[in-house]
Amino acid sequence: MADQDGWVLSYARVVSCLRDIILLREGQWPDAAAFEQMGIMKKRAARHDAYFVNPCNLAAEIDARIERCGRDGLMAENYYSYRVSIRRLGFCFHLAPELVRRVIDLAIKYCADTERKRTPYKIWKFREEKAEEKARLKLQKRIKT
């Protein structure tokens, strides 16, 4: 499902955009061929927008999605955009590295999810954690039998 600007972002696309968010904010496509192949790069609109409009719009969309994730989004942005290590993030946020990896993963999943517009991150995260716990318990039952 596309957003109003037509951005359809999968998990891999969100990660790719976060890695190059600085260039996107400056109005540049980091690797035009790769972004076009992934289906992220959009052709200029018929109304003849400036060359920097689409990368800036994509950066704004990513920023808005990450911002809705609060602290978890901040960790994801720092990890992918600024290459801050998991260990350092754990130290700064007083979390175990395993938990940092988990919340970063959840934030990226939320950013790629089509339900994010209707569901606040905290509610979505709670549902996701419940579903993971249910799957984990089901797996444990299968292993025991």
Q: Who wins on pLDDT, 34 or 132?
A: 132
* Cβ atoms within 10 Å of 38's Cβ, excluding its own: 15
Distance of CA 47 to the CA centre of its chain: 29
The yes-or-no verdict on residue 1 having pLDDT over 50 is: no
Q: Who wins on pLDDT, 114 or 63?
A: 63
CA-based end-to-end distance of the chain:
40
- Count the alpha carbons within 13 Å of 86 in the hemisphere toward its beta carbon: 10
Q: What is the pTM of this model?
A: 0.81
Domain coordinates of the chain in residue numbers?
Answer: 1-67, 70-145
Average pLDDT over residues 127-141: 91
pLDDT in tens, 14-49: 999 999 999 999 988 887 666 666 666 555 555 566
pLDDT of residue 101: 97
